[in-house]
Every structure is written in C-alpha cells, then in structure tokens.
Structure 1
Amino acid sequence: MTSADQPVHADLLWAAKEKAGITPELSSCHTGFIDGYVIEGHVPAADIQRLLVERPDALGLAVPGMPIGSPGMEMGNQRDAFDTLLLLRNGDTAVFESHT
C-alpha cells in the first residue's frame, strides 16, 4: 500500500463504520463484526460473550475512545472508568456494562 492509497482505505473504513451504525462520537480504533453484531473499540471479551448469550435486538457494542485500562490499553495499575454501550437500532445507546 502506498501513502496515496491510505485516504481511500480510511474512506472505506468510515463508510463501513457508518453503515454499521457507528457515529464519530461512538468510534474508536477497532471495528469488528461477530454473529450479526458490530463491536467498536476496546470492548471487554466478557461483554461480547454476554451479548452473544443474551442476543438483544441491537446493532452491537461500543467503547468509544481508548480508555486506559480497557483491553489492549493497560497501563500498569492505572484505569479509567468506562462504559460499554449497547448500540440500539434507533440510533440511541444504553449502558450495557460499567467498568470501574
């Protein structure tokens, strides 16, 4: 990939995020799809497992930004409190799980 290709790839990534219901306010650095759900950001594995068991009528889960202490963002004992958000089909969100 050349540097000239990067804007095209970024456009494709944002188009995929938008199609999946991820707004800029909900976005993070990682986007994945599993069993009909979108997973955005550093979502804890236990939250994803719970989503797949409970199967709510929703688009998926998001952890906006990159909170310190979330999976992949560990920094020793330092931790930010963060919420995993359930992305509802009407564009709203609800707290799926709070992490302190």
Structure 2
Amino acid sequence: MDTRIKVAVLREGIRATQPSRHASGKGGLESFHIFGLVELHCHESLQRLSGEREERALRGTMAADRRARFLASTVVQRIGLGEAARRAALAHDQYPSGNPYVMVVGVCDRVI
C-alpha cells in the first residue's frame, strides 16, 4: 500500500477549523480536507498501530478473564459446590436474561 500523506492539506484543514473550534468565527472543512483525512486513516503504518492496540486490548481482556476464573474457582472451593449451585439458582431467578446488566421488563398492572 503506497499512501501519500498530504501534510499541507491536513495542516490547512486544522487551520480552517480553528475559528469554529474556538468560537471565534466561522470555519470549516472542505471535501479535499476530508479526503486527506481518509487517506491518512488508510495509511499502512496507522493500520499497524490499530492492530497492535487491538492485540494489547485482547491480551488485557484474556488476563482479566483468567483472574476472574481463578477468583471464581477459589470462591467455589471455599463455599462448596452445593452453596455455589444455590447462589447460581438465586442469580438466575434475579436475572432471568442471564445478564445482570440487562433488565427484563415486565408488565405492571398497578395504576399509580
């Protein structure tokens, strides 16, 4: 991929937006500024940076998952399988969707 970055166009775009960004007058981008930004976005080196950032985030998520699984295993060992099953049933009753961050909305027939 051979993308050429039009630095002068990008600098002009920054200059053109300063008045509106600082509430000191009118300013704005034109289509050639937008095309310059799109070309910059598609630059090979920026794509590599995005890939590295995604890899780092995935590694962090996987490490957090390992810690959570270890903690859950430790709790189950301490409280026993019977108590763990009882708590899981209570959690299921409280969160029928299976997700504590999703509310299951019911119909209320009570008039306030």
TM-score class, shorter: under 0.3
Higher RCO (CA-CA < 8 Å; seq separation 6+):
1
Greater fraction of residues in strand: 1
Higher Cα Rg, which structure? 2
What is the TM-score when the length of structure 1 is the normalising length? 0.26
